[in-house]
Chain A
Amino acid sequence: MRDAARAAGMFLLLSTGASLALALVYILGGQPQLEGTFLAISLGSIGAALILWGKRILEGPDDVEPREAPSPHGEVEAAEEAVEDGGEQIARRRFLIRLLGAAGGALGVALVFPIRSLGPSPGNTLYTTPWKKGARLVTGDGTPLRPTELETASIVTVFPENAIGSADAQAVLVRVDPVNLALPGARDGWAPEGNLCYSKVCTHAGCPVGLYVETEHALRCPCHQSTFNVYTGAEPVSGPAVRPLPQLPLEVDAEGYLVAGGGFSGPVGPSFWNMP
């Protein structure tokens, strides 16, 4: 017990010293590791001293306390009676109860309306992106691209020229050897010189699909590993995604730059219940 008291005393002295050191470190401009260490020593030592005090210095037999007995006979019945008694007094006015219900319900409905202010109606925003026919494909710094500019098997993130950085317009431009292409029907001519453009928003949970696996000629999402075959119109080949990445039809404009031939082949991003 005396040893415990001595040890607790040492801990408290140690804590005092560490706190002073902490203050000094702070005055001298601060240093994260030292701040953490001294704070840990001053707090931890107080803790050690208090636990020694509670467990070793204050020795003694266990304390015992009785638990409360259940409510005496009659109490429960009396409580029930009180509830029912009050209830009966109110129940006499049926008419008022009904009106109160109507007023409460109406108030509840009215109070729901401010929630409507929290956000706009989804409307058709989930179906549209800033891509339009004729919009030039530009990189993040605004450079337009020619169809021969990209080396085969390399990718670059592109935006429509009027919406650089747009989260739902972001797209991946990937160039492949056109002989390998097996795009779904009606997409002939969507890939001039083997340039394919797909939405970069994963159709699973919306992460940017930014990895290109050259050996599998596939775009892969780093979040949940959905993998899309670029030859076949970004059909998912593995991972949780169900829908292919929407494709952007490409054309070359008069000045020889890549432009969109229209909007994406479908709504971009993760599925929602009435997505076509």
Chain B
Amino acid sequence: MIVRNVVEGLDERLHAASFAKRSLRKVFPDHWAFMLGEIAMYCFLILVLTGTFLTFFYVASAEETTYVGPYAPLHGQQVSVAYNSVLRISFEVRAGLVMRQIHHWAALVFVGAIMLHAIRVFFTGAFRKPRDINWLIGVSLMLLGTAAGFTGYSLPDDLLSGTGLRIAYSAVLSIPFVGPWIAYLIFGGEFPTHEMLSRLFVFHVFLLPALIAGALSAHLALVWHQKHTQFRGPNRTEDNVVGSSLWPRYTLKSLGLFFVIAGVLAMLGGLFQINPVWFYGPFDPTVPTSPAQPDWYVGWLEGALRLAPSFEPQLGSWRLPEPFVPGVVVPGIFFTILALWPWIERRITGDRELHNLLERPRDNPLRSGVGVAGVTFIGLLTLAGSNDLLAYLFQVSVEGMNAVMRILLFVAPVVNGLVAYTLCREMKNRDFHKFSHPERVALHRTAEGGFVTVSVEPGSRDAFSHEADRADHGEDGAEDQERGAEHQAAGHDGHADAEHQWPG
């Protein structure tokens, strides 16, 4: 009765009945890899919730103050008001430390989930027409997420974050012709400035979250409107979606995923220390820190800066500052190729069709090779971001480590890409062979109770199809029969069997 009133009331006012009916029955395909984007989305939600809590206590000010809080080792030290407020959140605000650590962990998982989601979308060809627009929105979200993370960990004004900001400032400064102006406009003057914390704060809690929320809404709206892609499978075609309907199954599962992620992040935030700024001390532009690694997702930019050769071409009184290539050009080229990949691939393959069925990595060896090469490249740069730790681990000099990494950076992506390409092509050919020339045998039981194997000509499939299918299933044929019976009893015959057969 209540439901009826609500639905009727909404329909009278909004004509929502047919939309509601369609929406609640909307089908979402089930596959574990489709959860990666959902994980990123839920991390964002948790970031907004914990971040809002933190905003009530954080003070974005570079003013100096004397620390008088409960953390004894810093007693009496001159610290910034911002750093002081982060210590207050960590040691004095009840549940503040847990909230702060959940927030930081959620940021690490957020960017990680975005990247894994992008990798999934790339290798399965989900970015192809008609979803190329959404791929662009996704790449923007990756950039925005990284920027939000970087501005966030710069806020505590601790030694590590200040050093990271210093490097970012230098990268901006290196841009030809406009670098000094842009750096001064962003930071409000020569580094370090009084304004930079309050500016980063506006970026971190207003501009970037607002942009992410907008882009995320568009991203989801397009997924909703275009309907999700699905892998090939029985009854799954280009023209349908097979999976769980929004209400109630998908809602329960997705909400469940949200709570599980929130639970895991709460555990990480409660039990695993992250960014203990009180160990690093307040930022002082004259104090070095070593070893210093940034949050993992900017590690590849740091690695590029570490590996780049000492080279600064000069033309008259002009120079191309050394950090420009590794700090601006390399990420610029990488993200441009990433963003344009759907169109690059279309140019290569000439494929202009609409695609709703996903490919497996082997179905498109070229793309998979390029993808593996790209992942190798970024992975190596990320490792290079810790070249000092690696050199220590292997007991070699940092210079020796760099020499090896520089060679690897150019060789490994090519080798890995070629290996991936070859493997995919071989697997694809074997699949093709299997379908076009199926090797089939029939298993006959003799009157004595023994078995004989009879090979079956591909052409004569009809006559032996029944036996041949059985033979494919091998020794669990009997089990299959039992399961089949069970399923029939449960009222959905055939589905499990059919899935078992796929892809042959």
Contacts and interface: CB of A to CB of B under 8 A. Distances in A.
Given A36-B98, A208-B287, A272 B244 contact: no
Contact of B240 (A46, A54, A66, A226): A66
Given A35-B95, A224-B306, A270 B249 contact: no
B288 A211 contact: yes
Centre residue among A54, A116, A168, A273 by max chain B CB count within 10 A: A273
B250 interface: yes
A26 B94 contact: yes
B357 to A, nearest CB: 11
Contacts of A50: 252-253, 255-256, 259
Contacts of B402: 225
Interface in B269-289: 269-271, 284-289
A208 B286 contact: yes
Given A58-B248, A65-B26, A65-B227, A48 B181 contact: no
Interface in B113-171: 163, 166-167, 169-171
B309 A240 contact: yes
Contacts of B326: 240
B243 interface: yes
Chain B interface residue number, banded: 35 or more
Interface string A50-66: 11111100111111111
Interface stretch (A76-84, A120-128, A187-195, A247-255): A120-128
B94 A29 contact: yes
Interface in A197-240: 200, 204-211, 221-226, 236, 238-240
Contacts of B179: 272-273
B200 to A, nearest CB: 13
Contacts of A32: 95, 97-98, 101, 270
Contacts of A206: 166-167, 169-170, 191
A111 B187 CA distance: 20
B399 to A, nearest CB: 5
Contact of B321 (A29, A238, A270): A270
Contacts of B191: 167, 206
A48 B248 CA distance: 16
A241 interface: yes
Given A40-B270, A225-B387, A241-B310, A210 B288 contact: yes
B260 interface: yes
Interface string B175-199: 1110111011111111110000000
Contacts of B356: 67
A115 B185 contact: yes
A167 B270 contact: no
Given A64-B27, A223-B292, A271 B312 contact: yes
Contacts of B253: 50-51, 54-55
A271 B173 CA distance: 8
Contacts of B398: 225
B277 to A, nearest CB: 15
Contacts of B192: 167
Interface residues of A, number: 83
A62 B230 CA distance: 13
Contacts of B181: 119, 121-122
A68 B224 CA distance: 12
B59 interface: no
B270 A33 contact: yes
B301 to A, nearest CB: 11
Residue with the highest number of chain A CB atoms closer than 10 Å, among B227, B306, B311: B306
A126 B190 contact: yes
B264 A54 contact: no
Contact of A205 (B97, B101, B171, B309): B171
A274 interface: yes
B62 interface: no
B495 A207 contact: no
Contacts of A63: 25, 27, 242-245, 249
A167 B286 contact: yes
B319 A273 contact: yes
Contacts of B262: 43-44, 47
Interface in B212-267: 227, 235, 238-245, 248-253, 255-264, 266-267
A65 B181 CA distance: 55
A178 B428 CA distance: 71
Contacts of B450: none
B290 interface: yes
Contacts of A157: 286
Contact of B94 (A30, A64, A210): A30
Given A58-B252, A167-B286, 17 more contacts: A36-B266, A37-B270, A37-B271, A40-B266, A48-B260, A54-B250, A54-B251, A61-B491, A63-B244, A64-B235, A65-B227, A121-B181, A122-B181, A204-B305, A205-B166, A273-B177, A273-B179
Interface of B: 25-27, 30, 94-95, 97-98, 101-102, 163, 166-167, 169-171, 173-177, 179-181, 183-192, 227, 235, 238-245, 248-253, 255-264, 266-271, 284-292, 305-306, 308-312, 317-323, 326-327, 356, 387-388, 398-399, 402, 490-492, 495
12 contacts: A36-B269, A40-B267, A47-B259, A47-B263, A65-B227, A67-B239, A119-B181, A120-B188, A122-B180, A167-B285, A225-B388, A271-B323
